[in-house]
Structures are given as C-alpha cells and as structure tokens.
Amino acid sequence: MAVYMYVSLQQEDRIDQYEIDPATGGLERRAGFALAGMPAPLAVDPQKRFLFAGRRRAGAFGLSSFGIEPGAGALTLLSSVDVAGDPVHVSTDRTGNYLLSAYYYQARVGVHGFGADGVLNESPLEWRETGIGAHYVQTDPSNRYAFVPHIAAGSHTGLNAIFQFRFDQESGRLTANSPDRAIPNAPEGPRHICFNPNRDVVYSSNEQGGSVTAYRFDGDTGALAPFQTVPTLPEDYDGRNSCSQIQITPSGRFLYAPNRGHNSIAGFAVDESDGRLTAAGRVAAEPVPRAFSLDPSGNYLYAAGLESGRLAAYRVSQDSGALEPLAVYDVGQGPMWVLTAEL
C-alpha cells in the first residue's frame, strides 16, 4: 500500500501529488495536475476511486472530478461542472455516491450525484439555502444525517450554528432535522467538524472563538448538544486569530486545530470514556496554517502555510499527542487544501 498527499495550489491552478514515506514521514513530489479556476477544497470517495475539487475563481465557480490511478495515485480529469457559488468545502457521503458542497457567501449547501465512472451530474440534486457563513458539510458515520457549520462573523455576519439535516442515501436528498440547528453556548463560530471514531461526540473548530467545542451526538435523532469548549490559544495571547480546520487521529486519542494569527497547531488529548478534551500543547506552524491533514496512520501531521507557500511535517507522539517538527517543504503559492490517502 502506498500513501499519497494531494495539495491544491489555488494561485497556481494545480493539484500536486506527493508520496509519504511511512517510516519517516518524508515527502517526495510525484506529479502536478493542472486545474484552472483556483482549485481549493479536495475530497476523496471512501473507495479511493475519485478525487473531487472545488474551483473558487469568480466567473469559473465549479466542481471537478478526477480518476485516481490504483496504486500509483496519478489523477486523470473526468468532468467539470459549473455551480452558482463559491465552494469552500466538498465531501462525499459515506457510500461514495454523492458529492456534498458548502458555499459561504452564497449561503448554500449542494448535493451532486455522480456515476460509476466518476462523472459529475451537471445539475445538483439539492441547492438548499442555509445562511451566510456555511463553511463545511459532512454526513455522520451512519450516513443518515448531514451537518453544515456556519461561522459567527466574517466579511458578512454569520449564523453561529451547525445546521442539522436528515440525509437520504438512496436519493441524495436533504431534509431539515428537528431542531434544524445546534447553537453554541457563545458566539464561537463553528467552522469545521470531525467525529470521534469511538464515541458519539462531534468536535467543532471555532473560527471566531479561538476554541474547540465538543458536542454530544444523539445517533437516534441526529441532534448535537454542546458540553465543553476549550481554547486553542495561550492565556496571554491578545493578538488577532482565527481557527481553521480540525482533525482527530484514527485512534480517537488526539485532536488538532490550527490557529491562524498565532500561527500554531493546538493539540488535545481525548478522554476515552466521555470524549472530553485536555490541552496537549501547541507547536509553531508556517504562516498562515489554513490547511492541514493527518496521514491515515495518525503518525504524521502536515500543515501548509497559506502565506509562506511552505508545508511543515510533524511526527505525532503516540503517547502524548505532542508534535515533533520533522521538515519543511516548499510547495507553491496559495496552498488551500492538504489531503492524504492510502491506496
């Protein structure tokens, strides 16, 4: 099995492929694949057949699909469709039959079908209004529910909520759940979420709050309820900051959320009994760490600096979750997404 990383370079209209050395965490660039339109968010289907990208250039907003060469990981463009919005996040449902997308400025969430050949349908199955600040969309592990976090503020006023939907995996349709949203206890601004692989707990990185919130997840109703919020910043930091993405290790023992402004990655230990978080330190990151990814083993973490055009590699301590800096790589202008996949 080979492990690859894909990095979207928005300012260079390209997606680069790297191979990860599982013994050292080192990276070797394998290829670059052109994609006009400022590629940004990336997603791979569960079967690792296709890679999907959102294109964010004004006048060329759209979604594209690529075939992934088995084993080698090379990409072949399969289809591109236009959309009436700027996709800030894409993901597939758990069956790998539908592509979901979120649109911050257009206050929308979309669902596109695609065939066994990976070709996207021209028209979305869903093009549903939610609210300004929609920043992420993902179905839960059962594939019965979908969640769309909305930040609290930005260039527009966000809704500070995680919208809750029922998802029909047979049709790809979304239906508002009841209640239709989970509200944080403060204007923290949920941006991205991740699911604890061992407990019915969901975590959000909070863009405005500089924090992570843990939510209890009711698998029967699909509802979220916040029960803990922990800061990602040191107590004495008073500069500007916003949180970006969030990921949890495959073991469910450690969780990470980068700080943009403080330019660090905050780590947390996860209580195996109830999913609560305890701070596990911070490590300096390239400015500005918007995009990052754990590798599939959970042994390495890679964070890209949007301003520096460099990507930092870290080793994850399996005892404490601490991050050990390994190397820094020049990757190119505007790294907007870092995605790893084992093929």
Total residue length of the chain? 343
Query: With 80 as the cut, is the pLDDT of residue 156 above it?
Result: no
pLDDT of the residue at 16: 98
Residue 202, classed as helix, strand or coil, is: strand
Task: Give the rounded percent of residues in the chain with a pLDDT score beyond 90.
Answer: 98
Mean pLDDT of 222-247: 97
Query: With 80 as the cut, is the pLDDT of residue 154 above it?
Result: no
pTM summary value: 0.98
CA-to-CA separations, 115 to 49, 142, 198, 295, 300, in angstroms, rounded: 12, 22, 32, 28, 34
Band (pLDDT 50/70/90 cuts) for residue 153 is: confident
Q: What is the CA radius of gyration of the chain?
A: 18
Mean pLDDT of 86-111: 98
Query: With 80 as the cut, is the pLDDT of residue 149 above it?
Result: yes
Average pLDDT in the chain: 97
Of 137, 146, 133, which is closest to residue 52 (Cα–Cα)? Answer: 137
Cβ pair 103, 88 in contact under 8 A: yes
Mean pLDDT of 118-137: 97
Burial class (CB in 10 A: 0-12, 13-18, 19+), 342: middle
pLDDT of the residue at 1: 85
Band (pLDDT 50/70/90 cuts) for residue 216 is: very high
Q: Give every CB contact of residue 154 below 8 A, 6+ residues apart in sequence.
A: 104, 133, 207
The token pair that represents 174 in the structure block: 């979304």
Instruction: Check the CA dihedral 265-270-274-278 and report its sign.
Output: negative
pLDDT of the residue at 119: 98
Query: With 80 as the cut, is the pLDDT of residue 166 above it?
Result: yes
Q: Give every CB contact of residue 104 below 8 A, 6+ residues apart in sequence.
A: 86, 88, 132, 133, 134, 135, 154
Provide the 8-state DSSP code for 196. -
Give CA–CA dist 176/13, Å, rounded. 36
Q: Give every CB contact of residue 169 below 8 A, 6+ residues apart in sequence.
A: 93, 94, 95, 97, 98, 139, 143, 144
Mean pLDDT of 236-261: 97
Give CA–CA dist 149/162, Å, rounded. 4
pLDDT of the residue at 140: 98
Each residue's pLDDT tens digit, 254-312: 999 999 999 999 999 999 999 999 999 999 999 999 999 999 999 999 999 999 999 99
Give CA–CA dist 150/192, Å, rounded. 9
- Which residue is it, tokens 């707990």? 201
pLDDT of the residue at 155: 63
Q: Give every CB contact of residue 327 below 8 A, 6+ residues apart in sequence.
A: 25, 26, 27, 312, 313
Phi, psi of 324 (to 5 degrees): -105, 115
Give CA–CA dist 76/137, Å, rounded. 25
Give CA–CA dist 124/111, Å, rounded. 6
Band (pLDDT 50/70/90 cuts) for residue 50 is: very high
The CB-side HSE value for 212 (13 A sphere, CA atoms) comes to: 31
Mean pLDDT of 170-190: 97
